[in-house]
A and B are shown apart, each in its own frame.
Chain A
Amino acid sequence: MTDAPTAGSPEAAPRTVLDARDVSRALTRISHEILERNRVTSDLVLLGLQTRGVPLARRIAERIAAVEGVEVAVGELDVTLYRDDLRSQPTRPSHRTEIPATGIDGKVVVLVDDVLFSGRTIRAALDALADLGRPAAVRLAVLVDRGHRELPIRADHVGKNLPSARSERVSVRVEEIDGDDEVTIS
């Protein structure tokens, strides 16, 4: 996701589709949408998908706290061990999964990820959730939906719909990990 732009050919030069202000606005809008759909924030759990979904989930929680004055539970979910392509790639190191102490049973879980592409990561996340508990509902918030779904999965909250060719690369940078906020396509 964070591959350095390939220098050289002008076609490969990455084009910025969301700058820092756009990212901020998109997250604010998603936060409001989540609030509108969930009047009872105590039932809400935001689960960021490793790795860039995690800071995005935290930022959404901060915005909800600023608007509503309530702390929403935030967790981290790593789906490496649930992927269906483990065998076709070299072994990937797994990351932390941390579920809030309140658990996810009976809660409305909002999965937060940076890019929605084939839908396979979300499929793996749904499998992981089933092992962790039984949420009342699971929703999906993504910063960018670039299309090309391979599974019947759609997002409930989308920062930006980004029509893209399958051969294009969509890269999301977040300040907490990469030093700045930006979405580029190349």
Chain B
Amino acid sequence: MKHLLSIDDLSVDQIQEIFATAGDMHDVQHRSVKKLPALRGRTVVNMFFEDSTRTRSSFEIAGKWLSADVINISAKGSSTSKGESLRDTVLTVCAMGVDGLVVRHPASGAAQQVAGWVDASVVNAGDGMHEHPTQALLDAYTLQRRLGSLEGKHVAIIGDLTHSRVFRSNVQCLTKLGAEVTVVAPPTLMPSGVGPWSESAGFATSYDVDEVLPHADAVMMLRVQRERMSGGYFPTAREYTVGYGLTRDRLATLHPDVPICHPGPMNRGLEIAADAADAAQSAILDQVSAGLAVRMAVLYHLLAGEESSA
């Protein structure tokens, strides 16, 4: 494995191998010395051309706990704000002898392009509305730990699908691992072209949350991405909550063993009620610690072996 750009690049065996490694990495979080020497002497650069707190800090801690040297570059304050092209910025950084690049960019396909320019291993940490493979891996890993196996389990993904890269990666990952997936959104936030894709990828679509929830073994709420919307997708926030939010009433209809996931950051009171976010069955904080373990596992698999092992 040279790069991680899309869930599509991974076989089921590779995904399970990452999960097995993540299991070991998870244990490190409970140790007094949270450090493994596996990536000693390797340099990882987090290039975030879009704001992010949890993904960037998760990758930063993951790299540091594996003993890699980690630096962060953000668009603000970097030479891109002076007009340098992405290609020049990336090539300049790689000329410093970098082994791994973690790239987040608002343009779909950016990580793929970067991977074509450099020798370093590239991890896609979210590209526009396209993919977010480590998020999908950590979600599936969290659910697999909670549910035992994903085979035949029914996962409902609810919310703003149009603007969600998390949904795109998650559908691929969960169906690959044998889960049945139903995606739910208001008609205005259901991506165009989802019909043919759902048929080929084998997932279901619905506009009705209350019809899907009683059959779900796991619920994944998506953030309403107000910053990506130019308006007009739904009349008011209140109306969205009534139609598609995981409200206190809907929470009461869920079995107490059904895990509730949210990739964060949450709009409490909009797509998810505080009661649901803080419920005993909420897996949201599990997702954060799983994210660290999964990112450690990904960096280990990309960077620990010999360079020609790609």
Chain A interface residues toward B at CB < 8 A: 78, 81-82, 86-97, 127, 130-133
Select from chain B the residue with minimum beta-carbon distance to A127: B37
Select from chain A the residue with minimum beta-carbon distance to B303: A91
Contacting pair A91 B301 (CB below 8 A): yes
Which one, B1, B23, B31, B36, contacts A82 given CB within 8 A? B36
- Chain B residues with CB under 8 Å of A92's CB are 305
Which one, B21, B38, B307, contacts A93 given CB within 8 A? B21
Contacting pair B309 A91 (CB below 8 A): yes
Known: A81-B300, A95-B24, A96-B23. A90 touches B305 (CB 8 A): yes
- Chain A residues with CB under 8 Å of B37's CB are 81-82, 127
8 Å CB interface, B262-310 against A:
300-301, 304-307, 309
Q: By CB atoms of chain A within 10 A, which of B23, B36, B66 has the most?
A: B36
Contacting pair B309 A94 (CB below 8 A): no
Complexed CA–CA distance, A91 and B297 (Å): 11
8 Å CB interface, B20-50 against A:
20-21, 23-24, 27, 31-33, 35-38, 41
Complexed CA–CA distance, A82 and B36 (Å): 7
Complexed CA–CA distance, A81 and B33 (Å): 14
Question: Digit string of B5-28 for contact with A (CB within 8 Å is 1, else 0)?
Answer: 000000000000100110110010
- Chain B residues with CB under 8 Å of A91's CB are 1, 300-301, 304-305, 309
- Chain A residues with CB under 8 Å of B304's CB are 86-87, 91
Q: How many residues of B contact A (CB 8 A)?
A: 23
Complexed CA–CA distance, A89 and B24 (Å): 20
Contacting pair A89 B20 (CB below 8 A): no
Which one, A86, A89, A90, contacts B38 given CB within 8 A? A86
Complexed CA–CA distance, A87 and B32 (Å): 26
Question: Can you list the 10 inter-chain pairs with the closest CB atoms, starting with the nearest?
Answer: A91-B305, A90-B309, A81-B38, A131-B33, A81-B36, A90-B305, A86-B304, A94-B24, A91-B304, A91-B301
Q: Is the interface of A mostly helix, strand, loop or mixed?
A: loop
- Chain A residues with CB under 8 Å of B24's CB are 78, 81, 94-97
Complexed CA–CA distance, A131 and B29 (Å): 12
Known: A81-B37, A127-B37, A131-B33. A97 touches B305 (CB 8 A): no
30 A-B contact pairs sorted by A residue (CB < 8 Å): A81-B24, A81-B36, A81-B38, A81-B300, A82-B36, A82-B37, A86-B38, A86-B304, A87-B41, A87-B304, A89-B305, A89-B306, A89-B309, A90-B306, A90-B309, A91-B301, A91-B305, A92-B305, A93-B17, A94-B21, A95-B24, A96-B23, A96-B24, A97-B24, A130-B33, A131-B31, A131-B33, A131-B35, A131-B36, A133-B32
8 Å CB interface, B58-85 against A:
66
Select from chain A the residue with minimum beta-carbon distance to B41: A87
Select from chain A the residue with minimum beta-carbon distance to B23: A96
Q: By CB atoms of chain A within 10 A, which of B33, B35, B305 has the most?
A: B305
- Chain B residues with CB under 8 Å of A89's CB are 305-306, 309
Complexed CA–CA distance, A86 and B300 (Å): 10
Which one, B20, B27, B35, B305, contacts A86 given CB within 8 A? B305
Question: Digit string of B118-159 for contact with A (CB within 8 Å is 1, else 0)?
Answer: 000000000000000000000000000000000000000000
Shortest Cβ distance from B16 into chain A, in angstroms?
A: 10
Shortest Cβ distance from A20 into chain B, in angstroms?
A: 31
Complexed CA–CA distance, A179 and B38 (Å): 33
Select from chain B the residue with minimum beta-carbon distance to A131: B33
- Chain A residues with CB under 8 Å of B301's CB are 91
